[in-house]
Amino acid sequence: MAFFTRQLCRHFSSSAVRNVVIKNVTIIGGGQMGAGIAQVAATTGHSVTLVDTSDDILKTAVKGIEGSLKRVVKKKFADKPEAGEEFIQKVLRNVSTSTDSGSAAQRSDLVLEAIVENLKIKQDIFHQLDKVAPEHTIFASNTSSLPITDIASTTSRLDRFGGLHFFNPVPMMKLVEVVATSATSKETFDSLLNFSKVLGKTPVSCKDSPGFIVNRLLVPYLVEAVRLHERGHGSKEDVDIAMKLGAGHPMGPFELADYVGLDTIKFIIDGWSAKDPSNPLFAPIEMLNKLVAEGKLGKKTGEGFYKYKRLIK
């Protein structure tokens, strides 16, 4: 009963919070996803603070954003290099960096987390930020596989908490899965939906179910590709060619796994296996575990299933 009363109070205390127009955004985690989301949010005129654990990581993240903007500009401003450079500088002026998530959150309409796929770490950070962020501030996670309800559970703003699941590479991929838990308010959900549209993305609505829509279908596919190869039924190269030319995918499953990051894929499979240990789909995958143990995490470290000359960042 006490728990129920507490939940009701939370809903009442925030009933004054209407649709939040998101202008100031804090993004926690300046890795592949956080940097990509920061880029898109800054390009669409938002004021973005990108937070990570060290200035060196943040420097690399901003360099990555600049590199990605150069690729965009090469096409968009093909005949006007000066206008292209001006565009890049304008976008970069919208991005600031910080190693202090607390002070960044104090100035934010939205705090979006894109850190390592680990429930405890995500819970801890939101628990801390909940104490300092303004009442109207919406919290969201970019998790690939963890229940938003579990991540939100360490905060007192269950009605102002949702999922915003972007896809890699963020500047190119049009989809955002907008996830509502049973406690997410309609105002919060609408604000997140609207934010996704302002970023130029196409949002779809998802329930807080494992893997939402895309990963619930993509992860079993990827896992089966690796097992097929482990059984000796096809080389990595042939599996990738087959899925590109036979199924029209832009990348084969091994290329995609390297692109996403093998550590992230291992976190997802291990997490789902812990929740559903008898499901053979999520049993350990020897080849994947070995590569992760060796620090071969895919394109971001220069080697995964394949070797890469050029790193992502």
Ligand X SMILES: NC(=O)c1ccc[n+]([C@@H]2O[C@H](COP(=O)([O-])OP(=O)(O)OC[C@H]3O[C@@H](n4cnc5c(N)ncnc54)[C@H](O)[C@@H]3O)[C@@H](O)[C@H]2O)c1
User: Which single residue brings its beta carbon nearest to ligand X?
Assistant: 31
C-beta closer to ligand HSC: residue 156 or 289 = 289
Maximum C-alpha span of the chain: 67
**Which of 141, 145, 177, 185 is an active site residue?**
177
> Is residue 65 part of the contact set for ligand X (CB under 6 A)?
no
Asked if 48 touches ligand X (CB under 6 A), the answer is no
Whether residue 19 lies in the annotated active site:
no
Hey, which residues between 205 and 264 contact ligand X (CB under 6 A)?
A: 260-261, 264
Q: Does residue 24 have an active-site annotation?
A: no
Beta carbons within 10 angstroms of residue 232's beta carbon = 7
Q: Does the protein bind ligand HSC through residue 151 (CB under 6 A)?
A: no
Q: How far is the CB of 240 from ligand HSC (least distance, A)?
A: 12
Identify whether the C-beta of residue 92 lies closer than 8 Å to the C-beta of residue 65.
yes
- Site mask, ligand HSC, residues 121-150, x = CB under 6 A? -----------------------x------
Handedness of CA 181, 179, 193, 120 (dihedral sign): positive
Q: Near ligand X by CB under 6 A, which window of 29-37, 71-79, 175-183, 188-196?
A: 29-37
Is 177 labeled as catalytic in the residue annotation?
A: yes
Active site residue 289: no
122 is in an annotated binding site: yes
The verdict on 33 binding ligand X (CB under 6 A) reads: yes
Region 183-212 residues binding ligand HSC, contact defined as CB under 6 A: none
3-state SS of the chain?
A: CHHHHHHHHHHHHCCCCCCCCCCEEEEECCCHHHHHHHHHHHHCCCEEEEECCCHHHHHHHHHHHHHHHHHHHHHHCCCCHHHHHHHHHHHHHCEEEECCHHHHHCCCCEEEECCCCCHHHHHHHHHHHHHHCCCCCEEEECCCCCCHHHHHCCCCCHHHEEEEEECCCCCCCCEEEEEECCCCCHHHHHHHHHHHHHCCCEEEEEECCCCCCHHHHHHHHHHHHHHHHHCCCCCHHHHHHHHHHHHCCCCCHHHHHHHHCHHHHHHHHHHHHHHCCCCHHHCCCHHHHHHHHCCCCEHHHCECCCECCCCCC
Tell me which residues in 126-155 interact with ligand X (CB under 6 A). 142-144
* 247-266 binders of ligand HSC (CB under 6 A): 250-251, 256-257, 260, 264-265
Chosen from ligand X, ligand HSC, none, partner binding at 257 (C-beta under 5 to 8 Å by type): ligand HSC
Active site residues: 144, 165, 177, 215
User: Could you tell me which residues are annotated as the binding site?
Assistant: 29-34, 52, 68, 75, 117, 122, 144, 168, 300
Q: Given the rule CB under 6 A, which residues bind ligand X?
A: 28-34, 51-53, 57, 114-117, 121, 125, 142-144, 166-168, 260-261, 264
Binding site for ligand HSC (CB under 6 A): 68, 71-72, 74-75, 144, 167-169, 171-173, 215, 218-219, 222, 250-251, 256-257, 260, 264-265, 268
